Amino acid sequence: MTISLDHVPAAGLGRLPADIVTAGTSSGRPTYVYDLMTLRARCADIGRLPIRRKRVFFASMANDHPRVIECIKDEGHGVFINSRKHMEIALGAGMPVDRMLYASSNMVSEEMRGCAERGIRVVLDSVAQVRRFGQTAGSGHGIGLRVSVGFVEGDSLRDDPGYRFGVRPDELPEAVAVAGEYGVRIAGVHSYFGTNLTAAPLVDGVGKLADAAATLPDIAFLDAGGGFGVVMPGEPVFDFDVYASGVTKHLDRLEQRVGHPVEFFLEPGRYLAASCGYLFVTVVDVKERADRVFVGTNGSVATFPRPLMYPDRARHPVGIVGRSLLEEPDSRTVYISGSSTYSQDFLARDIRLPLPQVGDVLVFAHAGAYCRSMMSRFLGKDEPLEVVLDRESAAAMAGNGAGVLAERA
């Protein structure tokens, strides 16, 4: 496919920058494209939040591509990791250890020892894990502890007795006592409130977490995990003003109660990376039925797993590259499937698009988080091509005739 326009129409999605389309369509293979300019913009959004003593941590499990991690590091943010593999990726990308947060349930002693030796802060998940850390790492460390103060369902924060992570607030005195036996300080508390959330319930969660933090004698940081909503076309954007003002009020109250400053660790989830990524696949078959159209592609849920993992929540805007934006959607709903006999191999279900044709290229937006990082060997499919575009570096080199820098993997 030859692209000559600055922006290319994608029926059902809108217009895409031509360099992204070129990168995604030049090989004929399923291809992920990561646009670092968009990633930098999202990092800047978070960086501008008017919350004092704020530090931002990106979850490497969302996208562990080294160039993505390196870009986030260059923008001044940190990384939230929960495996030794992701720790090595972050270190390889040049992430400073004081911007790394290792938080995993059921950590083994080797993980604890490795973090302690490198000076990487850990967030533990139980009183027993506090004891194990003390026995393994020795005295003098300040650790975090995950505390279960609620989980967001819909638009409200609710208690979830079946939630397996963290300690209950009433277990904190025991955790402090155990930590003290080994000369360890519980310096922070952490909660994860869910994904693709609106601002109000996240703020409620921070308030509950601040109440728990106020009971700790050595509290130094509050760590709020919860994905900011990734906006779909026609939906309201995440309300940064409501979030920032609400969190600031809770932090002010906490600092008044404990009598000293407290850092705020922010984990915004998919928000940072989702919109920087696109997946391109090719239509290889179309089956028309009375009430629906089955569109077969060379992709697969093994290599684009979010629709399989989260069938009720995974929504990705879809477009047909090069087709007019004026085309009306077909009267029937469209089901986009992968190239396997697995009955659940659907990349999208029950969506509205103009009637696709064999040879069309489909592009899925919001594919920069929890997509390539969740790929599996299931179904035996080849891994997609991955292309990283860096317009900022290219612009800096424009005087030398350089174009958009692209790296393929």
Extract the tokens encoding 269: 């989830």
What pLDDT, in 10s, does the model give residues 127-146? 999 999 999 999 999 999 99
How far is 55 from 65, CA to CA, in rounded Å?
21
Share of the chain above pLDDT 90, in %: 84
Q: Cβ contacts of residue 259 below 8 Å, gap of 6+?
A: none
Please, are residues 62 and 270 in contact by the beta-carbon 8 Å criterion?
yes
| Integer CA distances (angstroms), 390 to 33, 40, 93, 370, in order | 11, 10, 16, 21
- 143 closest CA partner among 182, 184, 113: 184
Extract the tokens encoding 351: 């969506």
Residue 156 pLDDT: 86
Extract the tokens encoding 173: 């005195």
Extract the tokens encoding 367: 């594919």
How far is 160 from 151, CA to CA, in rounded Å?
7
Give yes or no for residue 3 having a pLDDT over 50.
no
Give the pLDDT band of residue 173 (cuts 50, 70, 90): very high
What pLDDT, in 10s, does the model give residues 249-285? 999 999 999 999 999 999 999 999 999 999 999 999 9
How far is 59 from 77, CA to CA, in rounded Å?
11
Domain boundaries, the chain: 7-35+274-408, 78-271
Q: Which residues pair with 184 in a beta bridge?
A: none
Give the pLDDT band of residue 161 (cuts 50, 70, 90): confident
Ramachandran class of 357: left when φ > 0, alpha when ψ lies in -120 to 50, beta otherwise: beta
Helix (H) or strand (E) holding 102: strand 100-103
Indicate yes or no: pTM above 0.75: yes
Q: How many other CB atoms sit within 10 Å of the CB of residue 344?
A: 12
- 101 closest CA partner among 17, 6, 221: 221
How far is 128 from 192, CA to CA, in rounded Å?
20
- 3-class DSSP assignment, residue 201: helix
Residue 402 pLDDT: 39
| Integer CA distances (angstroms), 362 to 29, 231, 235, 335, 365, in order | 12, 20, 22, 12, 10
Question: Phi and psi for 240 in degrees, rounded to 5?
Answer: -65, -35
Least confident of 12-26, 124-138, 220-234: 220-234
The CATH architecture that domain 7-35+274-408 belongs to is Beta Barrel (2.40)
Angle value at C-alpha 135, between 129 and 139, nearest 5 degrees:
105
How far is 406 from 153, CA to CA, in rounded Å?
40
**Fold agreement between 7-35+274-408 and 78-271:** no
How far is 269 from 381, CA to CA, in rounded Å?
28
Residue position matching structure tokens 């990791």: 81
User: 86-120: buried (b, 16+ CB within 10 Å) or exposed (e) per residue?
Assistant: bbebbbebebeeebbbbbbeebeeebbebbbeeeb
Give yes or no for residue 235 having a pLDDT over 50.
yes
Q: Cβ contacts of residue 74 below 8 Å, gap of 6+?
A: none
In the DSSP assignment, the letter for residue 147 is: B
Residue 124 pLDDT: 97
Fold for 78-271, please state it.
TIM Barrel (3.20.20)
Least confident of 88-97, 308-317, 397-406: 397-406
Give yes or no for residue 300 having a pLDDT over 60.
yes
Residue 233 pLDDT: 79
